[in-house]
Amino acid sequence: VTAPVDESATGTARPTRRERVRAQTVEEIKAIARRHLAAEGSAALSLRAVARELGVVSSAVYRYFPSRDELLTALIVDAYEESGALVETADTACARDDILGRFRAAATALRTWAVANPSAYALLYGSPVPGYHAPPEQTIAPALRTTGVLVNVLADAFRLGLVAVDESIPAPASLTTELDRVAASLDFPIPAPVFARGLTAWAHLIGAITLDLFGHLQNVVADRAALFDHEVEVVARHVIGLRHPG
């Protein structure tokens, strides 16, 4: 029994030369596609244009992606994973009980990634691509990385008694029931009113980044990063009601 045979048989061992070259080509295709996305937008992403830049006939790309939509899906998954990983890393770098710092870090990481990759951000949080439907079984899990961090920060804050949510703003019973059901499925359950504040904070983050990247702050504010930081502070203190520990 020789080593190479074992490797190809198990599949989990280091890849063969062919497999490595193939993986490399897949990455190159995605890189080109990402660049086209940035230049033209998702609706204009075309397999033929990618093939042209790859220096290959258009039908060759079908060896790697069975259709244009599957390429799009791969790009979406990558974008969720990349931004999610950055948000996770930013959170992990903070002391666990520094809730305010963690919220700031996560929010800033998301915005920084979005500003650096506006077209990828648009792909995830902008208008749906016409005629394209993301397959949930591939995109949901990666999408949950970012929101997962936010939920964890919120749950830790609640656990530490650092969340001040006044119950004076009533929600209809139907909403509370729904939110309770979702919140109960989390690793560490949180009350519906707290969860609602988290959703509000999330909506604010996406709204602030969207207004900026999509040009609605033109002629209003030049230093958008400063505005964002300030807004994050306002949301952390007043929407979630975060307090410093001790």
Partner DNA sequence: TGTACATCAGTGAACGCGCGTTCACTGATGTAC
**Half-sphere exposure of residue 128: CA atoms within 13 angstroms, side-chain side:** 5
From 8-16, 82-90, 96-104, 210-218, span contacting its own copies (CB under 8 A):
210-218
Cα distances (angstroms) measured from residue 200 to each of 146, 155, 209: 15, 15, 14
231 binds its own copies (CB under 8 A): yes
The binder of its own copies chosen from 171, 180, 191, 243 (CB under 8 A): 171
Q: How far apart are CA 52 and CA 86, in angstroms?
A: 32
Angle of helix 68-92 relative to helix 17-40, nearest 10 degrees, comes to: 90
**Whole-number minimum distance, CB 202 to its own copies, in Å?**
7
Residue from 109, 108, 102 nearest 84 by CA: 109
Structure-block tokens of residue 179 = 């939110």
Q: Which is nearer to its own copies, 30 or 204 (CB)?
A: 204
95 binds its own copies (CB under 8 A): no
Q: Which is nearer to its own copies, 61 or 242 (CB)?
A: 242
- C-alpha dihedral over 198, 203, 208, 210, to 10 degrees? 140
**Whole-number minimum distance, CB 79 to DNA, in Å?**
19
Angle of helix 47-54 relative to helix 68-92, nearest 10 degrees, comes to: 80
Q: Total residues at the site for its own copies (CB under 8 A)?
A: 53
128 binds its own copies (CB under 8 A): yes
**Which residues on adjacent β-strands are paired with residue 242?**
163
Largest CA distance in the chain: 73
User: If contact means CB under 5 to 8 A according to the sort of partner, which of its own copies, DNA, none does residue 125 touch?
Assistant: its own copies
User: If contact means CB under 5 to 8 A according to the sort of partner, which of its own copies, DNA, none does residue 103 touch?
Assistant: none
Amino acid at position 214, single letter: F
**Whole-number minimum distance, CB 35 to DNA, in Å?**
13
Q: Which helix (H) or strand (E) holds 108?
A: helix 99-116
Residues that bind DNA (CB under 7 A): 4-5, 8, 16-18, 21-22, 25, 45-49, 52, 56-60, 62-64, 67-69
Label residue 41 left, alpha or beta by phi (over 0 means left) and psi (-120 to 50 means alpha). Answer: left
The binder of its own copies chosen from 11, 55, 161, 215 (CB under 8 A): 215
Which positions from 43 through 72 interact with its own copies, judged by CB under 8 A? 43-44
User: If contact means CB under 5 to 8 A according to the sort of partner, which of DNA, its own copies, none does residue 202 touch?
Assistant: its own copies
Binding residues for its own copies (CB under 8 A):
40-44, 122, 125-131, 143, 169, 171-172, 174-175, 178-179, 182, 196-197, 199-200, 202-208, 210-211, 214-216, 220-223, 226-227, 230-231, 233-235, 237-239, 241
